[in-house]
Amino acid sequence: MVALCGFLTTDDDASVRVLLSRILQRERGQGGAEAAHGLDALTQSSGATFNALVFDCEMPVMDGIETLRAIRKSTALRGLLVAVLTSARTPAVVKQVVALGVQADV
């Protein structure tokens, strides 16, 4: 049986990662890990099993849309619960994340 590691919070702003991690810890009683960009999130996800991924759409190195596409193509990760926390609210971004199966939009 694989142990779940809580949430993976992915944002290029360290203060957002810390704040969101604290909120999830307080509200859900689970810790987790933090990633600064999508590639970092994918790397961490390959070594642990998370309950959910919360990420920003606008990040350097690998943005949230690219990250979500990679997750959905991965046999091991495609069922991962994903929530988006972003200020990117253009119709194109919303359409992409919905099409890629985001379960929550904050």
pLDDT, tens digit (0-9, with 9 covering 90-100), for 12-30 = 999 999 998 888 888 877 7
pLDDT value, residue 62: 92
Record the pTM. Answer: 0.81
CB 62 within 8 A of CB 38: yes
Count other Cβ atoms within 10 Å, centred on residue 5.
17
User: Residue 1 — pLDDT band, cuts 50, 70, 90?
Assistant: very low
